[in-house]
Amino acid sequence: MKFGIISFAHMHAYSYARALGEIAGVALVGVADPDPERGPAAAQQFGATYYRDYQELLAQDIDAVIICSANADHKEHAIAAAQAGKHVLCEKPISVSVPDARAMIEAAEKAGVVLQTAFPVRHSNPVRLLKAAIDDGKLGEIIAINATNHGKMPPGWFLDPAQAGGGAVMDHTVHVADLVRWMLKTEFTRVYAEVDTLLHDVGIDDCGMLTADLASGAFMSLDPSWSRPDSFTTWGDVTMQVIGTKGVASLDAFRQAGMVYVATSPNSPGRVFENGWGNDADRELIEAFIAAVKGEPNEGASGLDGLKAMELALAAYESANRAAPVALPLSVA
């Protein structure tokens, strides 16, 4: 199976490219990126052919593409890929508006290709264990979830509202929203949110607080932010406390790691980093997408899953602007 990657604008592109190089029977053969430095460097790093124009990549004999461009460009790239007959794995959030996401889903359906949204946290072993406990009824009826997704502030286009579609609330809400929908098999019905810029001198939100109702009767609170320093060891923390009628479970999706302290010299403070011993969620995300392309069962998130997760973030912004709860789904023409 031959893959291409459209843009290395998103940092996750590098881990996806690495994963493709580790999975038998697949190959990354092309990289398209308009950045004349980043694109060729990524192509050389992963042994792929470089194309400045993504349409040139789509004209090649490839089966699928992974889209890691700026959020606002996802629609253009995904629709073009679908029309070219290529299966699509799109970085989250799926897009920046409900109409754009719907257009992407419709294009994939019309072309008969797979469209999945990249939610790697689904594939974390701790998350799987929690989902199994919920599925098996060990926690009883789920009443409430208290969640966080804290991380460090990303650079570049992430800080441009036109390209990103939102700041920390967009960036970090969608992961948890997808997990909650997936594990509880229900939909969000209402959200109230406060959104602000309190931590950095940027022109976009860097923190927020969401409280949301679900159709099942459960209630969720979520703290998404870019509140961690540049030295923070992961892009987010993704923690959840799940309260049920029979028990309570706590999740910390990224704690399958050990801290490593390295003394580089007698006069140096050394380095500190995490050495993960858990499963590789990014690789298993790619494996799930490959299974979907083959028509096999998988745990990947669909385009609709991506839309629903993004919709909660968009409703949170609307709620913050109106200083009032907002009902879901959004009424969008």
In this structure, CATH architecture of domain 125-327: 2-Layer Sandwich (3.30)
Structure tokens at 148: 């966080």
Structure tokens at 87: 């299966």
User: Band of the pLDDT at 288, cuts 50, 70, 90?
Assistant: very high
Output the pLDDT for position 274. Answer: 76
Q: Provide the residue ranges of all domains of the chain, joining segments of one domain with +.
A: 2-118, 125-327
pLDDT in tens, 71-116: 999 999 999 999 999 999 999 999 999 999 999 999 999 999 999 9
Output the pLDDT for position 269. Answer: 67
- The DSSP-derived string for 91-149 is ESSS-SSHHHHHHHHHHHHHHT--EEEE-GGGG-HHHHHHHHHHHTTTT-SEEEEEEEE
Superfamily of domain 2-118: NAD(P)-binding Rossmann-like Domain (3.40.50.720)
Query: What element of type H or E holds 250?
Result: strand 248-252
Beta strands 2-6 and 64-67, pairing class: parallel
| Cβ neighbourhood burial of 194 (10 Å; 0-12, 13-18, 19+) | middle
Contact indicator for 152, 228 with CB cutoff of 8 Å: yes
Amino acid in the structure at residue 190: R
pLDDT in tens, 193-249: 999 999 999 999 999 999 999 999 999 999 999 999 887 777 678 999 999 999 999
pTM score of the predicted model: 0.94
Contact indicator for 68, 46 with CB cutoff of 8 Å: no
Mean pLDDT, rounded, for 157-172: 97
Mean pLDDT, rounded, for 312-321: 98
Structure tokens at 258: 């050990």
Mean pLDDT, rounded, for 284-301: 98
Output the pLDDT for position 271. Answer: 76
Beta strands 87-91 and 64-67, pairing class: parallel
Structure tokens at 92: 């989250």
Torsion of CA 94, 99, 102, 103, to 10 degrees: -100
